[in-house]
Structures are given as C-alpha cells and as structure tokens.
Structure 1
C-alpha cells in the first residue's frame, strides 16, 4: 500500500490551500473530501467573501493579511483566474467605537491607505445610507471581494496540476494514529506519514475521537440578498464592502456589493443559530432575518425590505474567534486547522502555508501562540 507524505482531510478552502502548499513543496499528498465537489454543505461555497487588510486590535491578523494579498495574487497568476475585485471597504460606527478606532490604528500602523469620514462627509458621500450625525466612517482602500468559488477551484486545480491526488465523495470513517497514520474511508484505507484535519464544522465530531476537545460552536449563517430599488446604486463600481460592529446587539453586520445576482445586494448578520452540521436545516433563523430586515429598513433606504434570496453557510466559532492551528498533543504528525469563526477565508493562503510548515517540521512563518489548542485549558 502506498504511503503518502501527507493526507489532508477536508477540501474546503483551508484544506485545499494546505494541500496545494504541501504539493508545491514536494510532498506526496492526498486530499480527501466527504462530499461530491463542488458542494454547498460547509463553509467554503458561494461566490463572494470580504477581504481587507485592517484588523483592529489584532495585529497578527493584519500581518498575515499583508502576505495573504500577495499569495492571492500569485494564485491568480498561476491559475490564470481573476480571484479578487478591489472595491474598498467602508467601516461604519459611532465615534470612538472599537471598529472605527481599531481599524484606523491598524491602517496607520501598517501604512495602509485609508480615508476618515466624519458624520457629515459620510452622509454626503454615501446618500444611499441613513445614519445619524454621531456615526462616522473609515474607508480601507485595500478592501474588496474575493470570488470564493473560483478561489477554491483554483487551489484544487493547481494542487492536481502539481501532482496531488484529490478524492471527493469519500467520507472519512476512522483514523488510526501512529508513526504512520491510517485513514479509513467508505472506499478504502490510506497511509500517511502525516495527517492534516481541516474538517470545518465536522471538527466537533471528528476531533473528540482523537482526544481533542475544543469549545467549538457551529452556527448556521443566513446569507441574504436584497433587491435594489434603483439598479446599481449598491453596485461594486459605486459602493464598497460594508461593515458595522455591534449593529444588532452584540453582532456585526456585513455587506457586499451587488455582484453575484444582478441588482441584489448581499447583507448578513455575523451570527446565527447553533446547529448540528448534519442537521443544519432543523434550526430556526427567523430571529436573524427579522433583525436584518429592521436594520435594512433603518439604514439602507434604497433596498427593498424583504430578502429576495436566502442561502446558508456554516461558521465554526471558537470562544475568542481566533483559529486553531496546531499539532496534536500526543501525535505530532497530526496537524489540526479548525475554528475559523467566519473570517478565515481571506486568510486561507497563509493558513495553508502555516499548516504545511507544521507538517514539514519547519519553523512557522508566524508566532502561533494565539492559535494553540492548549489556550483553552489555561
């Protein structure tokens, strides 16, 4: 039986990026996915994701994003596919809010171009928004839209081009750790010197069997599309990515210009009901949709007040919303990537690089104390 240098389980954006980085570094790699590709049952599907440089108060993410932009550009060039559209990002909040102050501090520290908007300027520049005078804005000019489905396909196709083996529609049934790890699926068994588990929402089911108990919560996110009253008013050529923290209670609101569906603006609450990933349709998201309706009526007067299309995806959240990027405590040849908390897609080129470095016993490119498993035990 063939022994791979590494087996990666889970071909979402993080697993596909990891497998791509491994094979480019000469590692004989097998990538396993439980569902037929492409699919919409996890966290990496859909056409668009937000990207931005600034992470207020979290310098380690801003530093990673600076490299992520370069790596996305390299993948664009390598695959011959456009993966990013620059639109800018508009953060809105009350004067002195965590989002506004943190974003500006991050942009200043890393010399990222931005524009500060006082309340009057915000209303003049964006008449399609309705905010009181004590709300201000900051524009991160690096912000934009990642084309999610194309990005995922690019990682997977380049992985295969470089000699990687990709099996979809092949769920993992069991893992047998050891110096050589054996992965059993519904179609056979595979041996690997190393194993990477990037299983998304199914981490809550897979990891406990290996003695890893993370405080993860899987949430079903309602992806809502709202019809423009005036076509193009929230289009990508005129309106940026949008972000407001604590827009509804403790939850953020984010929006993307009308790109995916003609005349439909994408706006979502950064939360949702907790679910079992195998029974995600059992949850009731009425409270999410009702709250976003109220937000639209209050602040986006040029959108219809009822969503035209409702789709879903899944977040896997950690309590601190930081990722898990670490080796297993007992089996150092098992590497875990989990808990991407709804903001991991944009960082996936760097995540894949870091996880591949852990597999290859290289010094990680970033300080990983924020991402250790044992932080939850302290």
Structure 2
C-alpha cells in the first residue's frame, strides 16, 4: 500500500488526507498542536460558500464541484454541517465587483435577483438600506460550520485508520525533519501548513496575514434567518455571517493586514481594530451596538497576491497554500483532486492551473 504524509491538521490537510485515504494510501497527519487546533486558519465557527465571485469565473464554476465534494464528505462523516442561507451583496458606489458578478452569473444562467435600496429595506428589515446603489441576492449559498467540520473529519479519519502525530516540523530535506532531527518520508508528501507554509517553502508567493473577526449575540432570533452579507462600501466594506446553528453572528472586513506572526503567543485583537470593524458594520446592521459581545479573535490567512490557490509540486512535496481567506469552501474538492492527481500520476501543471481558477479539468 502506498504511503502518504500530510503536514497540517487544518481543513486543507484533513481534506488531503481524506482524498488520499479514499485513493488507497496509508496516511499519517502531522500537526504541531492538538486537532482542532485553535490557532489554525480553518478552526472557527463558520466559513461561507457562494457562487457570487466577481470576475473570478473559474472559482464561481468550481463551487458546483465543491458542493458535490462536500456531499461526499457528509456521506462519509455521517452528518451535514452546512446551513443554507443565501447571499446578499450590497454596494454604495460604482465598484466593479457586483457588475462583474452579475455578468458572470448571467453568462452561466445562474438565478439571482437585483434589488433596490427600498427592496433591501422591505425584504431584510434588520438592515439599513441607506446609501445602497446596487444590490444582488442569490438563494444559493450558505454557511459551512468550520470548526465542527474539522473535528468531525478528524474523528472520521482516525476511525478509518489515519494516524495522527503531534509534532513540529522544522525543515524539509527529502522529507519532514522534526525538531528532534528525525526525518519522516513517504510516497506522497503534502504541505498544508497554512500561514506557516512559507517558512518551510520560502519560494511560495504567500504572506501570513492576521485578520480580526468580531462575534456578537443578537437577541432577535430573526438574525439567524438572514443571508450572508457582503457589504462592498468604498468607505470600508465588511462581511456578516448570520448566527446559524447556535453560532454567534460574525463580522470582519474585506482587507488583508499582510502582517503578523502566526506563532505569536498573544493573539488578543487590538481594541481599536475591533472598534474599527464594529464601526464599518453599525451603519448597516440595525441594533448592532445593542448586541451582546461574544468575543473577538485574530485568525491568520495565507495570502497569495492574486488570491489564487496554490496546488503544485515543490520538489518531492505537494504544496497546498495561498487560500487567501476564501479557500475553505473548496477544501473537500481540492483534497479529492490533489489525491487523484497523485494516485493516477496526472499532469500537475493542469492541477495547478485549475486550482488557480484558470481552467476546468474533467470531473
């Protein structure tokens, strides 16, 4: 039986392990902390899945494959950890993202609705529609319960014989070199180390980026029936995840800090950064200042300059990196496609182009 080592126990590493297990590999996952790792990029209450993707039509179309892969994963773990919400995108000016999204959706005959500010107020009274110049709503899309997915997938893999080893890798030299000098190698070796990956593979065009999210507990249960919200204001946009399945409402901004150390012992957000994010959202979310605080957190993205995913060969290793805050929704299909490429000795260049959203590859 061929062997595989996967470095990283976040969603990308676990989905790579899942794909390799299904492809017939004996898999070991290396993770520096316990799983789910609270310092990991993918261990949070939720992540979003949506077809609305601006001009990035490759990723828009990849969402169909992502949903199919998640369905396969739900079958394997025995539960569905996805809550349909739909998506509402708003713009106060003449930005490109909404018109590009609309053109891409229309070209693929995907249903959506255009809304005026008055219609936003009427359909979503928890929002303030003041200043909206453009709005788009889709019924498709939803929330992936991220932390629960990571935990459930890890349990499933362990139950299927995947080995988990808590160890920190200090170097790559023909294999994974651990801190005690031991080198581990396998037929397939995957580096899915999130913001830690550039330290091991410095050629990766990836920057660790500390991102602050703010969590709130609204008293009105109607918030749990809201769509995910993408506010694209030129003055400073934000996103809102509704409080589905017992999770808090979450808000964050669309910009990358492109700074921070993922190994920092203290990840406490700066109060001024928390206030900045609250200020972005309070003009749109009615009663935001009356919501009970549920904490704020710093997570890390691994940002690629064009926000294109990296799945490529790096010597004897396969790198999964550059997910730039929008990769979680594709983790299941990325893991399956990477495993297929490895198992069937397919063209790695085609995989790399597909992962970057540049072209499709056969299902």
Count of equivalent residues: 353
Residue 197 of structure 2 corresponds to 203
CA distance in 1, matches of 2:181, 2:35: 17
Tell me which of 284, 296, 302 is aligned to 2:287. 302
CA distance in 2, matches of 1:295, 1:259: 22
Q: Does the 8 Å contact 1:91/1:138 carry over to 2?
A: yes
**SS in structure 1 of the partner of residue 34 of structure 2:** coil
Residue 262 of structure 2 corresponds to 277
Segments of 5+ residues of structure 1 without an aligned counterpart are 373-378
How far apart are 1:94 and its partner, in Å? 3.4
Q: Does 1:118 align with 2:116?
A: yes
CA distance in 2, matches of 1:149, 1:186: 30
Residue 15 of structure 1 corresponds to 13
Q: What TM-score, normalized by structure 1, do the two folds share?
A: 0.85
Q: Does 1:241 align with 2:225?
A: no
Residue 232 of structure 1 corresponds to 221
Inter-CA distance 99–272: structure 2 relative to 1 (3 Å threshold): closer
Inter-CA distance 134–123: structure 2 relative to 1 (3 Å threshold): same
Q: What TM-score, normalized by structure 2, do the two folds share?
A: 0.88
Inter-CA distance 354–226: structure 2 relative to 1 (3 Å threshold): same
Cα deviations across residues 218-269 of structure 1 (Å, max 9, x unaligned)? 12222211343x522312x2x11111235544xx41111123657x421111
CA distance in 2, matches of 1:161, 1:320: 38
Residue 49 of structure 1 corresponds to 47
Q: Does 1:324 align with 2:310?
A: yes
Tell me which of 310, 314, 317 is aligned to 2:300. 314
Tell me which of 210, 213, 235 is aligned to 1:223. 213
Q: Does 1:342 align with 2:331?
A: no
CA distance in 2, matches of 1:101, 1:144: 21
Inter-CA distance 157–282: structure 2 relative to 1 (3 Å threshold): closer
How far apart are 1:341 and its partner, in Å? 0.4
Segments of 5+ residues of structure 2 without an aligned counterpart are 357-363
How far apart are 1:76 and its partner, in Å? 1.2
After TM superposition, the structure 1 stretch with the greater mean CA deviation from structure 2, 93-102 or 37-46, is 93-102
Cα deviations across residues 129-176 of structure 1 (Å, max 9, x unaligned)? 123354332112111110112221333233334432222x21113322
Tell me which of 82, 98, 102 is aligned to 1:84. 82
Aligned residues: CA RMSD: 2.6
Residue 105 of structure 1 corresponds to 103
Q: Does the 8 Å contact 2:212/2:269 carry over to 1?
A: no
How far apart are 1:79 and its partner, in Å? 1.3
Q: Does 1:150 align with 2:136?
A: no
CA distance in 1, matches of 2:46, 2:254: 15
How far apart are 1:82 and its partner, in Å? 2.0
Tell me which of 167, 170, 174 is aligned to 2:167. 170
